[in-house]
Structure 1
């Protein structure tokens, strides 16, 4: 008996098709869009490529097939994502956020909500439909979102409040870093919004999720300017007595917004990890080519020197390690109803940090020439620096989730090795959210 890491013919075709899209459609626009000083204009420059991705079935590939999505497995999603991330992980993040914003509807929504929101997402004739994930809040004292599950009432934890008023929720507060302001700062078409429906209790019982739709009155957007992932849209969103229909409340998420956050960032963990693999792969292939074609003043290319060969050999091995751990985490998601709160976090933490080191090692091989903009390493380094920080920061919440599970007296340290389902519950939250 063997453990088979061989891609099927269908997976090879998926990889080939997505690679062709990334190289032929996306790559020609990336340099100019990334260099555009106005971040909103830069994002808008990716719109034609996004429409092509939508029409090719890439943009909504992760949504359930019964609602018009691609219905692909998490493993297939990771295989496809690597090919886009090698070219630009910011654009890949736009696609990923369709999943972050709409998979909670598939997991926690009513049948009517699934038909309405998922159906609309997968049947847009313009191909411009965007999903959004709106959880993070601005820094401050108190504010921020890393300790969203702190067991204290407001103002600790999530500050965005949603108060039921008749058949609407009245929403007030701010969000910061949500996945998109939309193509025109009027918001995405629809997405999941984490709100505090009970300000008098802590984050493990006071949070819920609403579907936030485009052009909701009382909601304003400001596109953020960033050093990395410039081709993804992130925004500051202000809610001033915004009225969201009560029918947009996800029933399975009432009082469980904390679990939505944890599940969502575990689901996306392998995608963030494979994005890091893609960045390291891009840097490695460029550094290897440089080493084989440049002498650095010696009589033969530097690839003939031991240090260069050793460093690049280590990088190549670590890229393989990162890829297979990402495949493994995605496979775990597929086997366990898209739950991988422990494995997904471990995967994202270790791979994104390891791959950042690999990118820098490749820059050391190239030397000072890696700093010249035209050579592309600077952009790769900027993109790689994003990955350990965003999508549920490694230091902010991913490690804390792992800590909470490992601290459980009933935790089986051999569970992952034995492919057992590691259940994540509210009793695993709150750990170390109160200093001291």
Structure 2
């Protein structure tokens, strides 16, 4: 039978090892990290756990074995990610971003670049090697990163420039929100994959490239951003001031295709963010179920014996199961189609992360006012639930737009996902929804 939801013995071992790491390494520090007010200090508190993740092969488990990575399939990676994110979704994001920074090198880099950057990361024995991915920029420059692929000349959202000067590329501009990029001391991650505008004369779908910026590059500064959730995942503002990078650090196959890098990256991360939502919902559900089975509210039996708590938690369990299998489907689709799933990955991320908020709030209704007591974990679950739909190419920023662009293509097959057919993602699918209102060449009747 082609469809089988039974984990293999190897997958069960992946799950067991990830669960053991989460419960024995992460769980003892998670609450303290969440409560630490300084974002850089909070991240530094995770450093011993990250070193253990490097030792156990978790930190670079998504990368191909050929270059020293763990070689996990997308399905296996999602299985492991659920266990880690059920304890700390922020730590899961930190590991995920290692992939966002290095997977494009695998997709688009030369053999020399793959060995230098991926091999350099996976062969490091310090337990500190970390990789960032820098796409997001501040709003209002002029349009924010969500409009990175707008057809306007010069682009509407991506304004970090990369100009060739001899054997160097000179970077100028600001990034805002990228994760991991500051490293452990805000002096830079070991490697940062930066999407920058290498051609200002063309629109967003043609003028972007991917460049690796190494730690210690002069002219780059980092500042921590204090966030309300995922406190163990470090976000930063980056300022490039005539920062010089070797031209050899431009990822060869991504010259002029930085837009495709962004879309493919966030398609790959879709099921991982989705399983993060499943993981948080699972933790909230298990806590609420435990409460309902022990709390009597002064009645003769625990409240779970009443219809409302039983039905509500049954609905929550149903949503979690459905979302988990969507993530498995999304990851399997990526495995089947050369890590392309630009539409399905986005659909998975949107569906699962928006399911999460509903699940967490329903669990809080079962627990009642006691759920806002910080002795419970529901305060944190609620903050995580609010964040997940907004980050990782926000659901209204990029994810839904990508789905719209694919569906708008005249060759789109609405049964492609059901039939496991590949969908080639092209530049022609980008730019949709980036300019409001009708275009000037539409007939008057169409505009009315």
TM-score, scaled to structure 1: 0.99
Match of 1:163 in 2: 163
Separation of aligned partners in 2, 1:137 and 1:358: 31
Checking the alignment, whether the CA contact within 8 Å between 2:18 and 2:80 is kept in structure 1 is yes
Equivalence map 1:227-376=2 (5 Å)? 227-376=228-377
Separation of aligned partners in 1, 2:111 and 2:103: 13
Could you say what secondary structure the match of 1:221 adopts?
strand
Match of 2:135 in 1: 135
Match of 2:13 in 1: 13
Separation of aligned partners in 2, 1:254 and 1:219: 22
Separation of aligned partners in 2, 1:194 and 1:99: 15
Could you say what secondary structure the match of 1:236 adopts?
strand
Separation of aligned partners in 1, 2:400 and 2:159: 23
Checking the alignment, whether the CA contact within 8 Å between 1:143 and 1:159 is kept in structure 2 is no
Match of 2:200 in 1: 199
How far is 1:2 from its partner?
Answer: 5.3
Equivalence map 1:380-395=2 (5 Å)? 380-395=381-396
Match of 1:75 in 2: 75
Could you say what secondary structure the match of 1:195 adopts?
strand
Equivalence map 1:94-105=2 (5 Å)? 94-105=94-105
How far is 1:143 from its partner?
Answer: 3.8
Separation of aligned partners in 1, 2:320 and 2:154: 43
Separation of aligned partners in 2, 1:239 and 1:407: 37
Separation of aligned partners in 2, 1:163 and 1:152: 20
Could you say what secondary structure the match of 2:145 adopts?
coil
Match of 1:416 in 2: 417
Per-residue CA distance 1:207-263 (angstroms, 9 max, x = gap): 011011112100000011000111001100000000011000001100100000000
Checking the alignment, whether the CA contact within 8 Å between 1:222 and 1:236 is kept in structure 2 is yes
How far is 1:109 from its partner?
Answer: 0.6
Checking the alignment, whether the CA contact within 8 Å between 2:137 and 2:145 is kept in structure 1 is yes
Match of 1:216 in 2: 217
Separation of aligned partners in 2, 1:301 and 1:87: 27
Separation of aligned partners in 2, 1:153 and 1:408: 23
Which sections of structure 1, spanning at least 5 residues, go unmatched? none
Indicate the larger mover: 377-386 or 194-203: 377-386
Match of 1:112 in 2: 112
Could you say what secondary structure the match of 1:54 adopts?
helix
Which sections of structure 2, spanning at least 5 residues, go unmatched? 438-448
How far is 1:378 from its partner?
Answer: 0.6
Q: What is the RMSD of the two structures over their aligned residues, measured on CA atoms?
A: 0.9
Match of 2:65 in 1: 65
How far is 1:153 from its partner?
Answer: 2.2
Could you say what secondary structure the match of 2:178 adopts?
coil
Separation of aligned partners in 2, 1:3 and 1:250: 38
Separation of aligned partners in 2, 1:400 and 1:264: 15
Separation of aligned partners in 2, 1:152 and 1:336: 32
Matched, 1:125 2:125: yes
Per-residue CA distance 1:295-314 (angstroms, 9 max, x = gap): 12222111001111000000
Per-residue CA distance 1:76-95 (angstroms, 9 max, x = gap): 00000000000000011000
TM-score, scaled to structure 2: 0.96
Separation of aligned partners in 2, 1:106 and 1:374: 45
Count of aligned pairs: 436
Separation of aligned partners in 2, 1:31 and 1:151: 45
How far is 1:155 from its partner?
Answer: 6.1
Checking the alignment, whether the CA contact within 8 Å between 1:142 and 1:155 is kept in structure 2 is no
Per-residue CA distance 1:150-198 (angstroms, 9 max, x = gap): 0112362200000000000111000001112110001111131100001
How far is 1:124 from its partner?
Answer: 1.2
Match of 2:441 in 1: none
Per-residue CA distance 1:266-305 (angstroms, 9 max, x = gap): 0000000000000000000000000000112222111001
Separation of aligned partners in 1, 2:326 and 2:159: 36
